[in-house]
Amino acid sequence: MKNNQDFLNHENFYLKLNSGDKSAHELLFKLYQNKLMCIAKSYISNKEDAEEIVQDVFIKIWNNKSNISIKNNLNGYLFTCTKNLCLDYLKKKKRKINREGRVLQLEAVVNYNALADEGYSELIEQELNIQIEKAIEQLPERCKLIFSKSRFEGMKYREISDELNISIKTVEHQIGKALKVMHLHLKDYLTAIVFFLLF
């Protein structure tokens, strides 16, 4: 480890890193993966998500290898990059929860009020299912497939990721995209029903 750390301080290492030398990038990964995982897990409880964020840090370095200059502050750059990606993840997760929450709140009000009239409840449920099907049909094929596997087949994000050979982040992005379309499509419909039931 000492030899590896000494090599990090050598001018040649940064020249190799900037030129796209895979051995330099692999050494960087070997030395910093666990350290960055500790940082990521301090922000994010889900281990798989934390691992993806750490991978994204090294992917970012690789993709920008010729443009970044981290010789004088390697630790600071890696730690700051990890922290920023964690904060971005948390912001996106919060927006996703808010979107899902708004839809669920509207559906809960409709379901609660409609219980007073079984016949009307069935009518609302049928119409709601129709509207949901229409919203799903608006989704791109890949997004529709991922959303259906999650919501209708009950598959977890990891299972979808493994079956379709895509990253968990891609699954999350497609689910978020689907929920946004669903929310926009159902918003006016559900709001109209709530208004009718309450007033």
- CATH number of the structural domain spanning residue 184: 1.10.10.10
User: Whole domain around residue 189: which residue ranges?
Assistant: 115-198
What pLDDT score was predicted for residue 199? 40
Note whether 77 and 137 are same-domain residues. no
Note whether 67 and 28 are same-domain residues. yes
CB-based contacts of 128, cutoff 8 Å, min separation 6 = 107, 110, 186, 189, 190
Q: Which has the closest alpha carbon to 178: 143, 133, 129?
A: 143
pTM: 0.46
Q: Within a domain: residue 106? A: no
Q: Is 65 within 8 Å of 21 (Cβ atoms)?
A: no
- Residue written as token pair 């480890």: 1
What pLDDT score was predicted for residue 71? 59
Note whether 84 and 158 are same-domain residues. no
Q: Which has the closest alpha carbon to 167: 51, 25, 43, 85?
A: 51
- Beta carbons within 10 angstroms of residue 115's beta carbon: 10
Q: What is the mean pLDDT of the chain?
A: 74
User: Between residues 169 and 2, which one has the greater pLDDT?
Assistant: 169
Q: Within a domain: residue 94? A: no
Alpha-carbon span 104 to 133, nearest angstrom? 17
Enter the tokens of residue 113. Answer: 């009020």
Query: How would residue 14 be classed by pLDDT, with cut points 50, 70 and 90?
Result: low
pLDDT digits (tens, 9 = 90+) for 154-194: 888 889 999 999 988 899 889 888 888 877 777 656 554 44
Note whether 83 and 6 are same-domain residues. yes
Q: Is 39 within 8 Å of 32 (Cβ atoms)?
A: no
What pLDDT score was predicted for residue 198? 40
Alpha-carbon span 108 to 99, nearest angstrom? 14
Alpha-carbon span 95 to 101, nearest angstrom? 10
User: Between residues 50 and 103, which one has the greater pLDDT?
Assistant: 50
Alpha-carbon span 125 to 85, nearest angstrom? 41
What pLDDT score was predicted for residue 15? 72
Q: What percent of the chain has pLDDT over 70?
A: 67
What pLDDT score was predicted for residue 39? 85
Alpha-carbon span 185 to 162, nearest angstrom? 30
Domains: count for the chain:
2
Query: How would residue 130 be classed by pLDDT, with cut points 50, 70 and 90?
Result: confident
pLDDT digits (tens, 9 = 90+) for 32-55: 888 888 888 888 888 888 888 899
pLDDT at 90 over 60: yes
Q: How far is CA 60 from the centre of its chain?
A: 17
What pLDDT score was predicted for residue 165? 92
